[in-house]
Structure 1
């Protein structure tokens, strides 16, 4: 692998030989040779870069497909578990438990439906695939009825918001780290306030000396995704995105 990485560099350096020949001989033939040599080198480098980009695209697509398959399998496993629990309650004649299970399934379906309609592909993919990440933080999402981010903010702002959410979840995961294996919960609320998009995070209190968490207020300065103190006492932090496509 390292050998093939060095080939383009070696080919580029090979131009030195005809160039030296031109400088020494200063003949028409040497100039023509240099021109052909440069053309061949440029063609080779172009094909090499194009091949590398194609391989990177293929690897990225393969990773996305593998993640999508894992997400589907995870969801299928969750639905099968819920159906088995529901079937067990029905067989035992526990109608109250059956109703509770059905309501829980309905809530999950409603939540996933709202997430899928947010309109930012990278954000939808992140939220849907987070469950298979193996993180000790259990992520819950609540979306305001009818909220469609793609009709309110630009695709660039949507990508920036996705990165901000991922950074916040990561900062929460590594702040106030408790004993190994302990599960922590984090709730993300999507809504609107005075025409702006608001993303609010609710969870366990974060220690004031947490550097990863305090950096969230400074790393987004100068962008349209603005970190601000939460409007409610239950929230840890919230981000405001000015609407406008």
Structure 2
């Protein structure tokens, strides 16, 4: 709330005081009625304007996010096309076919993410590259999985998943020895929805990650015991989250 609203409401003290001082005067009552009507009419106008400005900002942010996402995807496709072109010029058809297969697999995964049935989570996963430059995100969605058709609160699950990813994202340290990668597999397992998060790379404060993940889940899911760090990769972590599906 801006200062306008409190100031406008505070100004009602003047006509109220006039009515109290001159209770038998008709003009004081008229001033009170007109003043009150004007104040609330002005508040309504200001609130509509503030709401419109807020919606415009949200729309502009969404448009900018979309543009950045499309730009990143265009950059990726151009790189892949240049690789294919190079293999074709060298007459390495088998290598070119491998790149095409990789592109097809990536497009299939993007399609599954888009059809996940939760716009907030889908948008976050597809635009992740535009908001994070310290970690690469790879997502594997079970074929045919749509959250809006499962007996759970898709919005609550979406917020829990985004929060869990952000826990890793904010702890991913800049590394010069390799690349930080978070791989997520989302699939239905009998009476639960299982999210397997496998991270490899530099990670700050790894000992407290489980506690932070529990806070992000907020009762929507349960953090299961993951695999121990591998001896040849002490920074690798596997975290498994189970989201129960009510019968």
**2:205 is the alignment partner of 1:215:** no
Residue equivalent to 1:228: 223
Distance 2:172 2:56 in 1: 39
Displacement, 1:115?
A: 0.9
1:8-87 to 2 correspondence within 5 Å?
8-27=5-24, 28-87=26-85
- How far the C-alpha of 1:14 sits from its partner, in A, is 1.2
Equivalent-residue separation in structure 1 for 2:214 and 2:135 (angstroms): 21
Contact 1:136–1:182 (CA under 8 A) maintained in structure 2? no
Secondary structure, aligned partner of 2:100: helix
Any conservation in 2 of the 1:196–1:243 contact (CA below 8 Å)? yes
Residue 233 of structure 1: how far off its partner (Å): 6.2
Q: What is the match of residue 243 of structure 1?
A: 245
Task: Look up the match of 2:146.
Answer: 148
Instruction: State the shift of 1:179 in Å.
Output: 4.3
2:173 alignment partner, SS class = coil
Aligned-partner SS, 1:215: helix
Give the distance between the partners of 2:123 and 2:102, measured in 1 at CA.
Answer: 23
Partners of 2:69 and 2:228 lie apart in 1 by 34
CA distance in 1 between counterparts of 2:66 and 2:88 reads 33
Indicate how the Cα distance of structure 1 residues 219 and 114 shifts in structure 2: closer, same or farther if over 3 A, else same.
closer
Partner-residue secondary structure (3-state), 1:183:
coil
Q: Deviations over 1:164-222 (max 9, x none)?
A: 2222222113336354796310011110111322112111386886435422124434x
Equivalent-residue separation in structure 1 for 2:117 and 2:108 (angstroms): 16
Alpha carbons 1:175, 1:210 under 8 Å: kept: no
* 1:199 counterpart = 2:195: yes
SS at match of 2:103: helix
Q: CA RMSD in A?
A: 2.6
Matches within 5 A, 1:171-186: 171-175=167-171, 177=173, 179=175, 183-186=179-182
Is the alpha carbon distance of 1:210 and 1:175 closer, same or farther for their aligned partners in structure 2, counting shifts above 3 Å? farther
Instruction: State the alpha-carbon separation in 2 of the partners of residues 43 and 62 from structure 1.
Output: 29
Work out the CA distance in 1 between the residues paired with 2:215 and 2:5. 41
Cα distance per residue 1:220-245 (max 9 Å; x no partner): 34x3x212214666863222223359
Conserved 8 A contact 2:136-2:180: yes
State the number of aligned residues: 238
